[in-house]
């Protein structure tokens, strides 16, 4: 029996910036499994190739550096028509308000806000009817944490952008935002294993679901956002109950 997700995504062109790893890669796997034609993008061609080789379905790679505006413009033109754009690629800089270097703050804003802003703008002329754009923020936008005030502010900016674009692009594209909590992905591979597992355990124990998230769980929310034609301007909290915990 064909599911509504298969009906919505079969043969559609889904472009995922950040599709080489983590939540973006999991989204690519699900979309390809539902019959979509998937293009995964990031700055690292080798990572993209490894990811594509491990995904069953129609998956191609198209490297892009979101900080290179001219490069993004050329990349968007080469994609052809697009049905769904997902931008999961980002960067996080942690540090107290008085200690976080301004350069780190600007680099994070460039990666998590300005880069996606420019990328969505350059893909806009190539969007088909019924298209969607899905951005990523994070739970700190509305539950700030000491030592991550800058990251929370950038996440909040992404959510404001989502709501503004949903109005401005009405009739052209639906625009939604996924706000994950802590998710166990390769983003934390640089931490010592013991410290990483302790962090996951501590955060997980504080959540109503009792654990941190998995990449495929976030991907399921992205698929829903792409597939539901009545959803726009929404911020979907997929955070294990982080926002409602005591």
Domain boundaries, the chain: 4-239
**Which helix (H) or strand (E) covers residue 203, if one does?**
helix 193-206
pLDDT at site 63? 98
pLDDT at site 187? 87
- pTM for this one? 0.96
Give the whole-number percent of the chain exceeding pLDDT 90: 92
pLDDT at site 246? 84
Please say if the pLDDT value at position 22 is more than 80: yes
C-alpha–C-alpha distance, residues 219 and 214, integer Å: 9
Which DSSP letter does residue 172 get? T
C-alpha–C-alpha distance, residues 72 and 204, integer Å: 37
> What angle do helix axes 115-123 and 149-168 make, rounded to 10 degrees?
20
pLDDT at site 31? 98
Instruction: Name residue, tokens 């955060």.
Output: 203
Q: Let me know: does 128 contact 81? Beta carbons within 8 Å.
A: yes
**Average pLDDT score, the chain:** 96
pLDDT at site 210? 98
Mean pLDDT on 173-193: 94
Q: Which residues contact 47 (CB under 8 A, 6 or more apart)?
A: 20, 21
| pLDDT tens digits, 37-84 | 999 999 999 999 999 999 999 999 999 999 999 999 999 999 999 999
Name the β-bridge partners of 61. 40
- How many other CB atoms sit within 10 Å of the CB of residue 49? 14
| pLDDT tens digits, 161-170 | 999 999 999 9
- The matching CATH number, chosen from 1.10.760.10, 3.40.50.880, 3.40.50.720, 3.20.20.80, for 4-239 is 3.40.50.720
Cα separations in angstroms, 125 against 76, 92, 110, 131, 163 = 9, 30, 22, 11, 20
Please say if the pLDDT value at position 190 is more than 90: no
| pLDDT tens digits, 69-128 | 999 999 999 999 999 999 998 888 889 999 999 999 999 999 999 999 999 999 999 999
Mean pLDDT on 124-146: 96
């Amino acid at each position: 029996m064909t599911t509504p997700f298969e009906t919505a995504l079969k043969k559609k062109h889904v472009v995922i910036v950040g599709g080489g790893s983590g939540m973006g890669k999991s989204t690519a796997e699900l979309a390809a499994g539902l019959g979509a034609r998937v293009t995964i993008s990031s700055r690292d061609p080798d990572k993209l190739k490894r990811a594509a080789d491990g995904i069953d379905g129609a998956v191609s790679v198209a490297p892009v550096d979101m900080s290179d505006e001219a490069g993004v413009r050329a990349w968007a033109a080469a994609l052809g028509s697009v049905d769904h754009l997902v931008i999961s690629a980002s960067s996080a800089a942690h540090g107290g308000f008085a200690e976080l270097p301004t350069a780190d703050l600007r680099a994070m804003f460039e990666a998590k806000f300005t880069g996606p802003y420019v990328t969505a703008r350059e893909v806009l002329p190539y969007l088909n009817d019924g298209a969607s754009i899905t951005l990523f923020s994070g739970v700190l936008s509305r539950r700030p944490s000491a030592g991550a005030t800058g990251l929370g502010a950038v996440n909040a900016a992404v959510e404001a952008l989502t709501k503004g674009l949903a109005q401005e692009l009405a009739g052209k594209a639906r625009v939604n935002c996924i706000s994950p909590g802590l998710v166990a992905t390769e983003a934390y591979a640089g931490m010592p294993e013991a410290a990483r597992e302790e962090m996951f355990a501590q955060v997980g124990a504080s959540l109503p679901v009792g654990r941190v998230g998995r990449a495929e769980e976030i991907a399921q929310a992205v698929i829903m956002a792409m597939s539901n034609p009545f959803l726009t301007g929404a911020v979907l909290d997929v955070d294990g109950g982080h926002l409602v915990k005591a």
